[in-house]
Structure 1
């Protein structure tokens, strides 16, 4: 089964997370399939950067989100729609 979950990177007592697509039985920081975002809880307010199109693709093909990632995706601002280019 494929999961979308957090993988911790960063120094001791300075957490920084990647939001990754990974097989469920792999280690937390094991080899991931794709990085679909980042989460930095140390900024005020916390910074979340997501690739909404890739998250939609992976959930569409059956990937399950962890509880924390689902909360981050729900609370993240929607991606800005591309403005039409006037000719």
Structure 2
């Protein structure tokens, strides 16, 4: 099954996540099909917390991909930012 989930990057104690489309059998930081955006949980000031291509997310969901719980929250946040 294809999932849209987070892969971890960044340094120790400074997490940074990419939002990717991948097969659920792949490792967390393993091979991915497509990168859709990023999530920076420690963003401050003018830094963006979430950047996500919502059109590509809709495309993949239409193809049967499932979002993880955290990515679903981030998708809602990104949709609200795009509407504003």
Gaps of 5+ in 1: 81-87
Match of residue 59, structure 1, among 45, 61, 64: 61
TM-score (normalizing by structure 1): 0.85
Q: Which has the higher helix share?
A: 2
Distance between the aligned counterparts of 2:81 and 2:58, measured in 1?
A: 12
Question: Which consecutive residues of structure 2, in runs of 5 or more, have no partner in the other structure?
Answer: none
TM-score, normalised relative to structure 2: 0.88
- Which protein shows a greater Rg? 1
Tell me the CA shift for residue 43 of structure 1. 1.0
Count matched residues: 80
Indicate the RMSD between aligned Cα atoms, in angstroms.
1.5
The DSSP-based 3-state class of the residue aligned with 1:41 is coil
